Every structure is written in C-alpha cells, then in structure tokens.
Amino acid sequence: MLPSYLSKADLHLLYVFIVVADARGFSAAQVDLNVSTSTISRQISDIETRLGMRLCSRGRGGFQMTAQGDLIYHAAKKLFQSLEEFGNEVMGARDNIAGHLSVGAVDNWISNGTSAMVRALSKFARIAPDVSLEIHTLAPDDLELGVLDRRISFGIGVFHSHKPGIDYEKISEEHVDLYCAAEHPLYNCRNPARLRDGITNAALAKRSYLNESHVAPVTRGMKSNAEAHQIEGIATLILTGHYIGYLPQPFAADLVKDGRIQAISNGDFALPVSIELINKRGHARSLVERTFVECLIDQST
C-alpha cells in the first residue's frame, strides 16, 4: 500500500495511469508518454502493486477500468489539480503573477464585436504577462463538464439549465433574433397573417445542444431536419434560404447590413440572453483566477 506520503515515483505512476485512462488504452497512450507499451504495462503493474488493487483489465477484451480504478482515477485527478493550484499560488506569491489559466467560451462570444473577452484578456496580459493562457471554444454542456472536472478554470456562455456543483454568475447580456435569408418567403414580409402561417410552416435551423422550444416559444413545435453545433453552422443553414433560425444580433449585423439576411417581423422575436461565468462550486480561486475575473467583470460592466 502507498505510504502516508507520496514519493516522486508514486506521483509519476499515478500520472501514467491518468494518461492511460484518458486514452482508453496502452497503445493510445504511447504518444503522450513517449514510451513503449511494455514500459506502460510495467508502470501500471507497479502502481497496482503499490496500491494493492487492480485498476484496469487489458487483453483481448480491450481496455476496461475496474470500479476501484475509476475511484483512483478521480482521486488522482483531484490530487494533480491541487498540486497545480498550489504551484499557481506559490508563483502568485512572488512579486509578479505567474501560473496557468484555462478559459472556455461558447463560439462567437469572443469575436462577436461586443464581447468583453478580448478587452479582459488584453488587460490581464498587461497585469500578468508571465501567466500561460489556454483558450477553448466549446458548447455549453462541454463547458460545464470542463469546469466540473477542472480541465478549464472558467466557462463563459449561455446556460439555460443550471447544473448542481457549478456556480453561475451573470456578467453581461446580449440579444438574439430570428432571421431568414433574402431568398426565404418571410423576407420583407409584413402581413401578420402571412407571417403567422409562414413561421408555422417554416423549417428551423436548430442548435444541437439548445432546447429552443423552451427558451424561444415561437419555435415550439416547428419542424426541424437540420441542426448545427456552432453559430456559423446556423448562419450557413439560414443563408440557404430554406431555414429560419436564431442568431446573436452582433454576429448577424454584417449579414443584415449586406442584405443577405433579415430579422423576421422587424425584430419582434428578439430575445435577451444572459452571458454567465461558471466555475466549480466550492473551488477556491487562485490569485491568477481572481485576477482574470476582476479583469473580466471590469470590462463587462
């Protein structure tokens, strides 16, 4: 069994196990670990001996985590996250702020022209030039998962259904609107009866992870045989002239200016959406994280 303290060798073996578990096998982990499968097999056997339990099965049936291995995996992830946070705090205790910051945001929010993200990162880079930055563009569900397992420090986006274990803080607001292309029958339509019938019979370009019938009642029950994971995908479907769909107003502005799309019914279906900052509940923010949040809040208000 492991002693009450962990040696450098123990930490390395636990790290190898995490990489193997994430890769779902020895062969897939070779590239990240830069060692042979025989070496990986020996290292996994060593940590199993040290722990006195079997962590995974491997053979003709493929790689499979045991119940005990799953527990050790999550405990080891927490351990390495704590070590990283300790390192960040130690480096932050110097005269300069140093460490690592990983931030995720929904697509389009960073580059939509009104986002505070670029301004916040610019200010943060001036204050903390020695911090290494990692930026991810993810769907809301993936942002929440990333925050929960601490792969990312913060997520920024639109979250219509709040999950347990996560803190949500509103930092700004933007509007989305229902759009159609110039080739669509609803373009320039002002007749109330035609609008009503046209929307009822229209095909909706749907966000794959968003329950639009919940957040946008006008789309409830609308037929949809096309979906996209990103804002640009929705815009592409709208531009075909066969679909209508919701887009953030800042994103749509240039397309509207060029006459390629138009807000249906002159913006009557526009909706406000809250942009929220999320992080894992109960997580004590490091100096690096606190500094970033201060920059973000300052540029969002």
Give the domain ranges of the chain: 8-88, 97-301
Q: Report the SS3 class of residue 103.
A: strand
8 A C-beta contact, residue 104 and residue 136:
yes
Question: Domain 97-301 adopts which CATH fold?
Answer: D-Maltodextrin-Binding Protein; domain 2 (3.40.190)
CATH code for the domain defined by 8-88: 1.10.10.10
For every one of its 301 residues, what pLDDT tens digit does the chain have, with 9 covering 90 and above? 555 567 888 888 998 999 899 888 888 888 888 888 888 889 989 998 988 899 988 777 678 889 998 999 999 888 888 877 777 666 555 556 778 999 998 877 665 555 678 888 889 999 889 899 999 988 888 899 999 888 899 999 888 888 888 999 998 888 889 999 999 999 998 888 888 888 888 888 887 766 655 566 667 667 778 888 888 899 999 999 999 998 988 889 999 999 999 999 888 888 888 889 999 988 888 888 989 999 888 887 6
Looking at residue 78, the DSSP 8-state letter turns out to be H
The four Cα atoms 74, 76, 82, 86 give a dihedral, to 10 degrees, of -160
Count each helix (H run) and each strand (E run) in the chain, helices first.
11, 11
